[in-house]
Structure 1
Amino acid sequence: MLTHWFLAAVHLLAFALAFWAVLVRGTAFRRLADGVGEVRSVLIADNIWGVSAVVLLISGGMRAFAGYEKGADYYLHQPLFHLKMTLFVLILLLEVAPMVTLIKWRIALARKAPINTGRAKLFTRISHTEALLVLLMVVAATGMARGVTFG
């Protein structure tokens, strides 16, 4: 029982950290686009966003499919779980362009080469959209926890 509680707490805290990190990253991108920010701030927030996403994926997978919660059958037949996973996939799709760009930035920094920040405004919007999707995932999760069903 303690393991279930701990895993649920880690999962919930990872949502909070993910939301905060992606918002901070978006703000750091905006400051960079406005000429007052630093690439380092974007990269630090991105690292935290990435770690929190991995924690969400692992803790969520364990809760849904490793016997720590209601079981895979429950989740696979729960419409809110499908909504939550759809939102997660949308985040992953939105994340492709910033992720590739930030990998290139890290390589450029290591080589002491110039960094093209021309898409920083776009990445601001993407980050803030991802933050909204994370919030919607939390709404779906709370519905599942309360046994909300449709039909």
Structure 2
Amino acid sequence: MTLEAVLASVHLLAILTLVVFLSSQAALCRVEWMNAAVVQRLAKLDMIYGIAAVVLLLLTGIARLVLGAKGMSGYVSSPLFHLKMTLFIVAVLLSLKPTFTFRRWKKALDATGQLPAAQEIQQTRKWVMWQSHLVPVIAVVAVFWARGM
């Protein structure tokens, strides 16, 4: 039972870390706030977001799947588990465009000092906002799933 509590706690911590850095991206990715420091910060936030998503969230999820109290069959037999995993994959796919965009912005800034165009900032913010709205849906599915519904 202690291992299950530790794994669940670390998984929750990973989710909260992901939410904090995704929210920070959403807050900063605005036309009126864009400057060289924000471009640098967005690239750094995205790197931390990626680490939280892949290293912390995915690895703790796999650890719960393999070592958790329910066992693998207890997890994969639930349709809500598959919905949660599908939504997680959608969130990962949604994160790719902003990730590549932030890297491109940083590269252009470092090479030429050029800031992104207003329209590109607005489009990228929309992608970040889609991700940030999907994460709570994943959490709600997880709550229902954890309660055996």
TM, length-normalised to structure 1: 0.84
Q: Please, which runs of 5 or more residues in structure 1 have no aligned partner?
A: none
Q: Please, which runs of 5 or more residues in structure 2 have no aligned partner?
A: none
Q: What's the counterpart of residue 57 of structure 1? A: 58
Task: Indicate the structure with greater helix content.
Answer: 2
Percent same amino acid among aligned pairs? 32
TM, length-normalised to structure 2: 0.85
Checking the alignment, whether the CA contact within 8 Å between 2:22 and 2:132 is kept in structure 1 is yes
Q: What's the counterpart of residue 78 of structure 2? A: 78
Checking the alignment, whether the CA contact within 8 Å between 2:101 and 2:124 is kept in structure 1 is no
Q: What's the counterpart of residue 89 of structure 1? A: 89
Q: What's the counterpart of residue 141 of structure 1? A: 142
Deviation at 1:116, TM superposition (A): 2.9
Deviation at 1:113, TM superposition (A): 5.1
The number of residues matched between the two structures is 145
Deviation at 1:112, TM superposition (A): 5.2
Checking the alignment, whether the CA contact within 8 Å between 1:43 and 1:102 is kept in structure 2 is yes
Kindly tell me: are residues 67 and 36 of structure 1, through their superposed partners in 2, closer, same or farther at Cα, counting changes over 3 Å?
Answer: closer
CA distance in 2, matches of 1:16, 1:108: 31
Equivalent position amino acid for 1:119 in 2: E
Q: Is 1:12 paired with 2:12?
A: yes
CA distance in 2, matches of 1:24, 1:49: 10
Q: What's the counterpart of residue 116 of structure 1? A: 116
Deviation at 1:29, TM superposition (A): 0.8
Deviation at 1:8, TM superposition (A): 0.6
